Homo-oligomer: A and B are copies of this chain.
Amino acid sequence: MVTINSAPGRGDAFDPECPTRVVLDRIGDKWTVLVIGSLVDGPLRFSALRARIGGVAPKVLTQTLRAMERDGLLTRTVHAQVPPRVDYELTPLGTSLTGPIATLTEWAETHLVRILTARDDYDTQAEAR
């Protein structure tokens, strides 16, 4: 049994098992969303992922992939070959995350201009002082 949301309606950012925190910690990460986006069309191997995303240090990519694997978002398949070949593929769970992400992206695209404008106003305001 797992206790969910001990403080209903509020959430507890300290609780490492707070559902929202768990998810936010993962997709708040720069690389995770890019990995998901890169894998929606099908499995990819390490170097392909690396090339597709661009600018990722191998270490960081590995970290990201391991974290996602641990959370059951993707599978890591090692083929016993020389040279080695490792495929990464989204699990159904990982794929299902694309939904909420899309919602967020939509909101983001719709409201970005407002945010950017607000920033601009704020900054010129501050500048004036």
Q: Which A residues form the contact surface with B (CB < 8 A)?
A: 2, 4-5, 9-11, 13-14, 17, 19-25, 27-31, 33-34, 37-38, 55, 69-72, 93, 96-97, 99-101, 103-105, 107-109, 111-119, 121-123
Contact A11 B27 (CB under 8 A): no
The CA-CA distance from A25 to B33 in the complex, in Å, is: 12
12 contacts between A and B (CB under 8 A): A4-B109, A4-B112, A5-B109, A11-B105, A19-B108, A23-B107, A24-B104, A25-B28, A28-B29, A96-B107, A97-B107, A99-B103
Task: Specify which chain B residues have a CB less than 8 angstroms from the CB of A109 in the assembled complex.
Answer: 4-5, 19-20
Q: B residues within 8 A CB of A28? A: 24-25, 27-29
